[in-house]
Structure 1
Amino acid sequence: MGGMFRRGDAGWPGGAFHLVVTVCVYRADGTVLLTQRAPTKEFAFGWEFPGGSAFAGETGPAAACRELLEETNVTVDPEALRRVGRFTEETALVDLFVVQEPSGSAVRADPAEVMDWRWVSLSEVAALRQSGVMAEPWGPRLDALWPAAMASILAADGLRRRTSR
């Protein structure tokens, strides 16, 4: 469509979508980074993968890198991102990317966006989904996208061997 709309503005045209990007950062030990939304954010205190909306003219990978940097201070190369799937919501196209944690990176959460963060196992992600502590939009997103994300992470060079021992 090519139009520009601000979040929350009235008059969102039917059939229009905005791009939402999320990044599942994984470590060689098979853990993934989850962040907890700040109390001032919508879906406060819910856990999720870092992400947000793309800006006008921004590619999905560029938006994913920007959001990851803003929320966690982790810098990744857009070329390193692997898109594992897209989930369609009422007005959003949600792309989930996976990327291995760059060596030497250190998570530093932006308190305006992120209240807490932690590295969790792949099985813990599913358990958190079942327990209801993931941010509200993440239930259906995980149902649709998590199997492909897990497969991509486990297929990473040598990861399956290291996590299965």
Structure 2
Amino acid sequence: MIRVAAAIIENEEGLLLIARRRPEKSQGGLWEFPGGKLEEGESPEACLVRELKEEMNIEIEPYEFFGVNDHWYGAVHIQLIAYSARFVSGEIALVDHDEYRWITIEELREFQFAPADVKFVEKLFMDT
């Protein structure tokens, strides 16, 4: 099982950050909540702070557990652990993604998300 953390990042205007995976990556072309693989002994919150700095050059503050989703991509088992987070600072510079957007919850319907992220998209709709 691969443990992965995802951040549901909200900015001061109440918009959410989503990013599109590069075409050559697994699930390429699909949108996701940014994050990354947990390192040995690392908490999901620490992982998110590290990954968002490495992959997008931004500072975030994870503040609340959002949910977990066990998903299988064929034989690969992913445990996706999501946290709500605040955007703190930084100018976005993409590494593992080819595009990003700040969007409203209602706009989430307009994007095709990676299957493991869909549970969190649905939860955001239910929570509004």
Give the alignment's TM-score, normalised by structure 1.
Answer: 0.66
Post-superposition, which runs of at least 4 consecutive aligned residues in structure 1 deviate over 2 A? 88-93, 135-143, 145-148
Offset, 1:121: 0.7
Q: CA separation in 1, counterparts of 2:55 and 2:106?
A: 24
User: Does 2:68 correspond to 1:82?
Assistant: no
One-letter identity of the residue aligned with 1:69: K
Residue number among 83, 88, 107 corresponding to 2:92 in the alignment: 107
Offset, 1:117: 0.7
**Higher strand proportion:** 2
Q: CA separation in 2, counterparts of 1:140 and 1:99?
A: 17
In structure 2, the residue matched to 1:71 is: 55
Residues 10-65 of structure 1, C-alpha deviation per residue, up to 9 Å, x if partnerless? xxxxxxx3321001111121111111111210111111110121111211111111
Structure ranking higher on relative contact order (CA contacts 8 Å, 6+ apart) = 2
The share of aligned pairs that are identical, in percent, is 21
Q: CA separation in 1, counterparts of 2:60 and 2:32?
A: 18
The answer as to whether partners of 1:30 and 1:122 remain within 8 angstroms in 2 is: no
In structure 1, the residue matched to 2:21 is: 37
**Higher helix proportion:** 1
The answer as to whether partners of 1:128 and 1:134 remain within 8 angstroms in 2 is: no
Larger radius of gyration: 1
Alignment of 1:89-128 (within 5 A): 89-90=71-72, 91-102=77-88, 104-110=89-95, 113-125=96-108, 127-128=109-110
Residues 43-94 of structure 1, C-alpha deviation per residue, up to 9 Å, x if partnerless? 11111110121111211111111221122111234xx432111122242321
CA RMSD of aligned residues (A): 2.1
Q: CA separation in 2, counterparts of 1:95 and 1:56?
A: 15
One-letter identity of the residue aligned with 2:57: N
Q: CA separation in 2, counterparts of 1:134 and 1:88?
A: 16
Number of equivalent positions:
124
Give the alignment's TM-score, normalised by structure 2.
Answer: 0.82
Alignment of 1:22-33 (within 5 A): 22-33=6-17
Q: CA separation in 2, counterparts of 1:128 and 1:67?
A: 26
SS in 2 for 1:97: strand
